[in-house]
Amino acid sequence: MERDRMKFEPKHLDFELSPFTGLTRDTWIDAAKYLLSGIFKNIENIEAPVVMPRYETKITYPSKDAPMWRIKAEYFEGLARSFFIAAPLIHIEPQLTLNGINIRDYYKKQVLCAVTPGEKNYVLNYSDMRKLDASNNPNACYQQTVETAALVICLWLSRDEIWDTYTKEEKDRIAAFLTDFAHSNTVPQNWRLFNMLDMAFLYMNGYPIDEDIMRDHAQNILGYYVGDGWYRDGQCFDYYSCWAFNMYTAIWNNWYGYEKEPYIASRFEENSNELMKTYPDFFDRDGFTNMWGRSGIYRNAATGAFDGNLLMRESSIDPGLARRICSGSLLQFLTRDDFLWEGVPTLGFYGPFAPLLQGYSCAESPMWLAKALLCLHFPKDHPFWTARESGGTFEQLKKNETKVTTLDGPGLCFANHEANGITELRTAKVMKAKDDEHGMWNYSKLVYSTKFPWESKPAPDVESQQYVLEFLPEKKYHKGNVTLWHGESDGVLYRRQVFDYEMETEDHWRTVMNLADFAVPCGIFRADKIRMYRRPLRLTLGSFGFPDNGTEIIHREMDGYKAVILKGYDHTGKEKQLAFTIMDGWSDIKIINSEGTNPDSRRSIVIYAETVRDKQYGYEPYFLFSQTITKESLEDFSEDEIFPVDSIVYTDPQGCGGYGPVTINFKDGTKKVVDFSQIESKLSL
C-alpha cells in the first residue's frame, strides 16, 4: 500500500524556552494545520461530509451491509473528531481557509446539517436510531453518543466564532439533538462522561436537564476510581483513564460540577492531582507514549490528561514538564513519514497496522488524537506556553539509575531507565477471553516498551513478551489471558498469569506461571516459576519484536548461559539494539523472522527461548531466568550487562526451585531474592 511519505517538519523553534523539543505554541498551531490540511484535501466543497479515503475494510466499520445508523455514525465521527482539531484553530485564526474552504464556515454549516432531519449529512438522533434498530435491545446505545461529547467541547472552544453566531432557532435545534442523547442509554463505563458533558453544555447555555440523571452518572464515574489517579473502565485499566476520565471530568467541573456538585467536583480534582504525581513517569525521556491498551490509534491523545489537570481550579502539574511531554509525544508521531495515508492518520500506531484495530473504529477514528491538541485553547500567556520545558525524572536520575513506580490500585509498574532513556511498563489486573489474541496483545504482554512497541504473533508458538504453552503432543497453543496482581516486595514485582482461563472448568487455577521480575539498568530481569497441573509441555518466551531494516545478529555463550544480540535500525533510521539472555531453566534460544507483525517496520525479528518438561510428576526445574536489555545506539553492551549473573542459589538441594526462596547474585555485588511463598495471600484483579 502506497503511503504519503510526508512528515511534519517543525518550525518556529525556541530551544531557550523549550530546551528538549524546541516546540512553541506557534509550532503546535502549525502541527494542527498540518493535520487539518491533510483532512481537507479529501473534502471537495463545503457541502461534503468528513468521510475519508479507506484502505481497510475487514475489521473497521462500516461494513458493506452496515445498517444506516452505522453509516451515519461514520459521518458524525469524521465531523466531530476533525472539529476537535479545527476548533482551537478557528478561535485563533477565524479566516483560516484550506482547500478553498473557510474552516469556520464549514463547521458552522456541517454541525447544523448533522442535527437536522432531512439534511443529506444528518447523522440521526438517538430516537431515530432506535426506530431503525431491529435488535429491540432495551439497553441499546450508539457510536453517535461518543461524538456528541466532542461536538459540545468544540462548540465551547469556538464559542465566539460559531455557537454564539447561531440564531436562537439553530441553537434550539442543536440543543434538542443533544438532549435526546444526553438523557438516553449509554455504555456503563467511560461513556457516562459523554452524557454528562452533553447535559453540562445544555445547562451552561440555559437549557433544562434532568439533574438526577446527571448525578447518577457522576457518582458512577466517581465509583470507578481505584486510586493513584486511575479509574477502572469496565474491567480494564488503560489510557481511557487519562484521555477520558481525567480530561472530561475537568471540563465537566468547569461547566457544571464546581457550581452544582461541589463534592464530586472536588473529588475529580483530587484524583487528577493524584494522577499527576506519577503520570509524567509513564512517558520516556523523549516524551514517547507507550503502545498499550485498546484504541492505540489515538496515539498521543494520552497526553490530554495534562491539559485536563491544568483546567482544574487547583492544578498540580508542572506546566513546563507537561509541555515537554506533550511536545515529545507529538513529535513521536507527526515526524514519521508513515504516519499519514491520503493525508489522514493511519489505522495503526505508526504506519498501517491491522493487528491493532478494533471493530468500533473507522477511517476517521484516529482523529481522536486531537485531544492532545486541546492545549491550543490556552492563551499565549498561559504557563503551559510560557514555562521553560522541564525534563522531570530523567533530569534527576543518576547514571544507570532506574526509577520504578508501582501502583497497586490499577496494577501498574513502570520503570524509567536513565541508561537508555526508555520507560517500560508492566501491567496486571487483566482478564480477556481465552481466544482474544487482540486483547492479550494490548494488555497481557509481560512488558511494554516506549521504544519497542508490541509485536503481534510472528508464529503460532511464539509471541513477543508473552509465554506460549503447548501441552505435548497436542500441537495446540495456549496463552495467558488473565494476569493477577500481587505487588512489589523488596524490589521484585510479583504477578500471576493464568492460561486459557474460563469459568466452565477448574483447570483455570492450575495452569499458571508465577511471574517475578525486576528492573536492571537497561531492561527487565525475569525469574518466573512454572506451576502447571499437567505435562509434558513445551514453553516459549519471546523478547521484544525488533524492526528489521538490516540487522546484525550476534550469538554469545558464557558459563552455560546463552544470548542473542540484535543491532539495527527502526523505520526512521534510528539505531536500535536488543540483547536477550537465557539462564537456568531454558534449553535453547532461537530467532524467527516475520512480516506484518511489527508496528514500526514491515519486517521484524523476534528472539525467543524454549524449553520442555517431560515428566507428568517429575521434579524438574521450575524456574525460568531471562533478561531483555535494549538501547538506542549500536554501542556494544558490556559482557557483564549481557551476562550479569554470578550465581543462582536455590533452597532445595536439587537446584530446581520447587520450594523456598531463590537468590540471584549479580557480578556487581548486588542480589535479589525471589520468594513466591506468600503470593497466594494477595492476588487481585
Its pTM surpasses 0.95: yes
pLDDT at position 4, please? 57
Helix axes 103-115, 68-92, angle to 10 degrees: 150
Reported as a pLDDT band with limits 50, 70 and 90, residue 8 is: very high
Reported as a pLDDT band with limits 50, 70 and 90, residue 70 is: confident
In a domain, 148, yes or no: yes
Q: Are residues 284 and 403 in the same domain?
A: no
Determine the average pLDDT of the residues in 196-202: 98
Domain with 300, as residue range(s), is 25-395
Q: State the CATH number of the domain containing residue 476.
A: 2.70.98
Residues in CB range of 446: below 8 A, 6 or more apart: 426, 465, 466, 467, 497, 515, 517, 524, 526
pLDDT at position 104, please? 98
Residues in CB range of 680: below 8 A, 6 or more apart: none
Q: How many Å apart are CA 460 and CA 109, to the nearest integer? A: 51
pLDDT at 679 exceeding the cut of 70: yes
Q: Are residues 51 and 99 in the same domain?
A: yes
**Each residue's pLDDT tens digit, 24-51:** 999 999 999 999 999 999 999 999 999 9
Domain count, the chain: 2
- Per the prediction, the chain carries an average pLDDT of 96
Q: Are residues 197 and 96 in the same domain?
A: yes
Q: Are residues 535 and 492 in the same domain?
A: yes
In a domain, 334, yes or no: yes
Determine the average pLDDT of the residues in 455-462: 97
Reported as a pLDDT band with limits 50, 70 and 90, residue 510 is: confident
In a domain, 122, yes or no: yes
In a domain, 350, yes or no: yes
Q: Are residues 444 and 493 in the same domain?
A: yes
Reported as a pLDDT band with limits 50, 70 and 90, residue 135 is: confident
In a domain, 407, yes or no: yes
Q: Are residues 150 and 65 in the same domain?
A: yes
Are 343 and 37 contacting, i.e. CB atoms less than 8 angstroms apart?
A: yes
Determine the average pLDDT of the residues in 588-592: 98
pLDDT > 70 in the chain, percent: 99
pLDDT at position 69, please? 81
Q: How many Å apart are CA 371 and CA 352, to the nearest integer? A: 21
The dihedral sign for the CA sequence 254, 374, 201, 270 = negative
pLDDT at 584 exceeding the cut of 60: yes
Alpha carbon separation from 516 to 96, 379, 447, 484, 497 (Å, rounded): 55, 48, 12, 12, 11
Domain's final residue, options 330, 361, 395: 395
pLDDT > 90 in the chain, percent: 93
pLDDT at 427 exceeding the cut of 70: yes
The residue type at 16: E
Domain's final residue, options 395, 430, 450: 395
Domain's final residue, options 371, 395, 419: 395
In a domain, 7, yes or no: no
Determine the average pLDDT of the residues in 409-434: 97
In a domain, 55, yes or no: yes
The residue type at 619: Y
In sequence order, the β-bridge partners of residue 495 are 485, 515
In a domain, 4, yes or no: no
126 vs 534 pLDDT, higher one: 126
Strand ranges inside 508-548, DSSP E: 512-520, 523-531, 537-547
Q: Are residues 547 and 593 in the same domain?
A: yes
pLDDT at 1 exceeding the cut of 70: no
Q: State the CATH number of the domain containing residue 120.
A: 1.50.10
Are 562 and 582 contacting, i.e. CB atoms less than 8 angstroms apart?
A: yes
Q: Are residues 430 and 375 in the same domain?
A: no
pLDDT at 685 exceeding the cut of 60: yes
**Each residue's pLDDT tens digit, 335-387:** 999 999 999 999 999 999 999 999 999 999 999 999 999 999 999 999 999 99
Determine the average pLDDT of the residues in 106-125: 97
**Each residue's pLDDT tens digit, 221-269:** 999 999 999 999 988 999 999 999 999 999 999 999 999 999 999 999 9
DSSP per-residue letters across 490-503: TTEEEEEEEES--T
pLDDT at 601 exceeding the cut of 90: yes
Q: How many Å apart are CA 40 and CA 50, to the nearest integer? A: 8
Q: Are residues 221 and 310 in the same domain?
A: yes
Alpha carbon separation from 78 to 24, 127, 340 (Å, rounded): 28, 21, 16
Of 111, 126, 260, 115, nearest to 200 (Cα)? Answer: 260
pLDDT at 507 exceeding the cut of 70: no
**Each residue's pLDDT tens digit, 476-503:** 999 999 999 999 999 999 999 999 998 8
Q: Are residues 381 and 403 in the same domain?
A: no
Q: Are residues 327 and 401 in the same domain?
A: no
Q: Are residues 80 and 61 in the same domain?
A: yes
